[in-house]
Amino acid sequence: DTGVSQDPRHKITKRGQNVTFRCDPISEHNRLYWYRQTLGQGPEFLTYFQNEAQLEKSRLLSDRFSAERPKGSFSTLEIQRTEQGDSAMYLCASSPIGQTQETQYFGPGTRLLVL
């Protein structure tokens, strides 16, 4: 399967711990996005990479959050000192660069529960 993959699929942690999620985009997709979705809501944009450059960050992305895409392939999203309000589904998406904005393809998500 060559779709977007995310790891882990589920994570339970205690408040104050650090967590890191990984996203592997579709091969040759230059753009990679992170979104967060809380229960009953639509996803909200967090950040976006084009190759290894992080080009946009939402104000939702507090200084406890950091995302990287060091070689322009996979990406990691780290949350430091987790809080209960961080409990959500974290979704990754990728898209190719085209002449127009292209379809974003989403992974299965990482569900985080902070106790």
Residue 48 sits in the site that holds another protein (CB under 8 A): yes
Residue 55 sits in the site that holds another protein (CB under 8 A): yes
Residue 113 in contact with residue 13, Cβ under 8 Å?
yes
Interface with another protein (CB under 8 A), residue from 2, 14, 40, 70: 40
Q: How far is the CB of 16 from another protein (least distance, A)?
A: 26
Residue 37's CB is within 10 A of a number of other CB atoms, namely: 15
For the chain, list the strands marked E by DSSP.
5-7, 10-13, 19-24, 31-37, 44-50, 53-57, 65-68, 75-79, 88-95, 105-106, 110-114
Q: How far is the CB of 69 from another protein (least distance, A)?
A: 14
Q: Which residues bind another protein (CB under 8 A)?
A: 4, 31, 33, 35, 40-45, 48, 50, 55-56, 58, 91, 93, 100-109, 111
